[in-house]
């Protein structure tokens, strides 16, 4: 077993070295949507298919006023508010809250939200589901919230984290604090198919108890005969938390799911809480940003990427831009998995003070395709590609080999696989420093291979 683990760790380390150039092309870009949520911090965000959903958070006047109760969707260009009885949604609506745990369930195309801080020491323990439903009154489908009837649920809490476990096909929740300040160390699973919560009896617990931590799906990669094959996430990665924790933990397994940690990767991010973390499918990595180290009174503006497989590997990115020193922002996988989206939070100004803001930033590569680079595809499948064209950048189009059609001009497009063999898609564009290209390479196999 030790020998197999050593080989696995060596493979992952080699993959990291080989893929640094690909990840280095990713950068932070500030967006300027025509409509946007108001300034806030400690909001809740999760991917929702071709959107990113945002709910609630604390306004600048908190704690003298209640948190917010609005719902917004980011489509990659603009924010749209989902009104309670408006064009997009009808029916019940979650009460105002901040610091709620939230995650996307891709199997059922819905977002699950639990708990949060309702303001004035009102810690919540309710479960809400956001999805597309059919409205008989209006005779059309609508995006709306619903509250399932539950026989059991986790104790009420805020500052908890939740993420969808692809192996269990359940939402995993851990951490948080009660209204009395009690910290939790338990692990709960929500089954979307039965609408039930169950406390998991894991052999190990995330230790010590924590709040204001972050958790995301974690991808892996395997090298076969020198060719890297991306593996869909099968486990979760948790890092840090309040009280300046700087430890990494993995959660996974189908028969006896359990926590593994604390892991001791080197290098790794400094201890922090109230940071953001999200899975970036294009690079098959977890992206971590910002947060605060209370002991040193320090806010971070660093970007890290994490990769699972045998352990966890962290590497610090050096992007050309960043959203600045901030904490308590919302952060989630972006629409269709092409980007990571960051919104709001408490940002350090030129006087060293913290200001609430409503800035929108995205993390990603200029040219991005999914499934990830060097994936294995079957005949009859498709890939989605998107180019991020901003001011000063001229897009020249996509060129495809082994895909149909062979050329596309659209910024966002799809390509269809053809016959088995090697295939690639290349983006061409021009910036101030001259022409650029970026290629995604694939192996196409028959579906029965």
Asked if residues 280 and 333 have their Cβ atoms less than 8 Å apart, the reply is yes
Q: What is the DSSP string of 291-321?
A: -EETTTTEE---EEEEEESSSEEEEEE--S-
Return the HEC string of 118-184: CCCCCEEEEEEEEEEEEECCCCEEEEEEECCCCCCCCCCCECCEEEEECCCCEEEEECCECCCCCEC
| Superfamily in which the 369-445 domain is placed by CATH | Immunoglobulins (2.60.40.10)
Cα distance between residue 347 and residue 294, in whole Å:
15
Quote the tokens at residue 200. 């998991």
Q: What integer pLDDT is reported at residue 90 of this predicted model?
A: 52
Q: What integer pLDDT is reported at residue 372 of this predicted model?
A: 87
Q: What integer pLDDT is reported at residue 223 of this predicted model?
A: 52
Establish how many alpha carbons lie within 13 A of residue 317's alpha carbon, considering only the half-sphere containing its beta carbon: 29
Top CATH class of 2-365 equals: mainly beta
Helix (H, G, I), strand (E, B) or coil at 397: strand
pLDDT in tens, the chain (449 residues): 333 333 344 433 444 444 434 434 799 999 999 999 999 999 999 999 999 999 999 999 999 999 999 999 999 999 999 986 444 445 689 999 999 999 999 999 999 999 999 999 899 999 999 998 876 676 677 888 999 999 899 999 999 999 999 999 999 999 999 999 888 999 999 999 999 999 998 888 887 788 999 999 997 755 544 444 556 678 999 999 988 999 999 998 888 899 999 998 999 999 999 999 999 999 889 999 999 998 888 999 999 999 887 789 999 999 999 999 999 999 999 999 999 999 999 999 988 899 999 999 999 999 999 998 888 999 999 999 999 988 889 999 999 999 999 999 999 999 999 899 999 999 999 999 999 999 999 999 998 75
In the chain, where are the structural domains located? 2-365, 369-445
12 - beta bridge partners? none
Q: What integer pLDDT is reported at residue 227 of this predicted model?
A: 46
Cα distance between residue 341 and residue 57, in whole Å:
16
40 - beta bridge partners? 357
Q: What integer pLDDT is reported at residue 350 of this predicted model?
A: 87
């Amino acid at each position: 077993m030790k020998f197999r683990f050593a080989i696995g760790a060596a493979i992952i380390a080699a993959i990291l070295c080989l893929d640094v150039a690909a990840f280095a092309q990713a950068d932070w870009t500030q967006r300027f949507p025509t409509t946007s949520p108001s300034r806030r911090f400690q909001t809740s965000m999760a991917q929702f298919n071709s959107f990113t959903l945002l709910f609630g958070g604390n306004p600048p006047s908190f704690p003298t006023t209640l948190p917010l109760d609005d719902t917004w969707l980011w489509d990659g260009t603009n924010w749209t508010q989902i009104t309670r009885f408006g064009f997009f949604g009808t029916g019940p609506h979650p009460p105002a809250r901040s610091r709620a745990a939230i995650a996307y369930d891709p199997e059922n195309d819905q977002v699950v939200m639990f708990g949060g801080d309702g303001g004035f020491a009102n810690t919540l323990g309710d479960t809400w589901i956001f999805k597309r439903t059919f409205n008989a009154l209006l005779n059309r489908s609508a995006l709306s919230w619903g509250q399932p009837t539950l026989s059991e649920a986790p104790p009420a809490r805020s500052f908890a984290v939740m993420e969808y476990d692809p192996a269990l096909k359940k939402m995993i929740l851990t951490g948080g604090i009660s209204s009395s300040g009690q910290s939790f160390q338990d692990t709960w699973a929500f089954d979307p198919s039965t609408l039930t919560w169950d406390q998991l009896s894991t052999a190990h617990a995330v230790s010590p108890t924590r709040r204001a931590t972050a958790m995301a799906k974690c991808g892996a990669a395997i090298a076969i005969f020198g060719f890297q094959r991306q593996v869909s996430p099968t486990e979760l990665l948790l890092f840090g938390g309040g009280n300046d924790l700087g430890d990494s933990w993995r959660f996974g397994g189908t028969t006896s799911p359990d926590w593994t940690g604390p892991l001791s990767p080197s290098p790794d991010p400094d201890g922090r809480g109230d940071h953001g973390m999200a899975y970036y499918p294009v690079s098959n990595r977890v992206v971590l940003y910002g947060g605060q180290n209370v002991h040193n009174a320090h806010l971070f503006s660093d970007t890290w990427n994490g990769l699972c497989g045998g352990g966890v590997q962290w590497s610090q990115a050096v992007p050309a831009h960043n959203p600045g020193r901030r904490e308590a922002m919302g952060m989630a996988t972006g629409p269709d998995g092409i980007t990571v989206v960051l919104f709001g939070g408490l940002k350090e100004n030129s006087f060293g003070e913290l200001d609430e803001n409503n800035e929108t930033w995205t993390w990603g590569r200029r040219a991005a395709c999914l499934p990830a680079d060097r994936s294995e595809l079957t005949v009859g499948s498709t890939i989605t590609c998107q180019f991020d064209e901003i001011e000063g950048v001229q897009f020249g189009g996509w060129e495809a080999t082994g895909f149909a059609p062979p050329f596309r001009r659209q910024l966002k497009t799809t390509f269809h696989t053809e016959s088995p063999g090697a295939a690639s898609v290349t983006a061409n564009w021009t910036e101030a420093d001259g022409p650029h290209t970026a290629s995604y390479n694939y192996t196409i196999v028959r579906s029965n291979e």
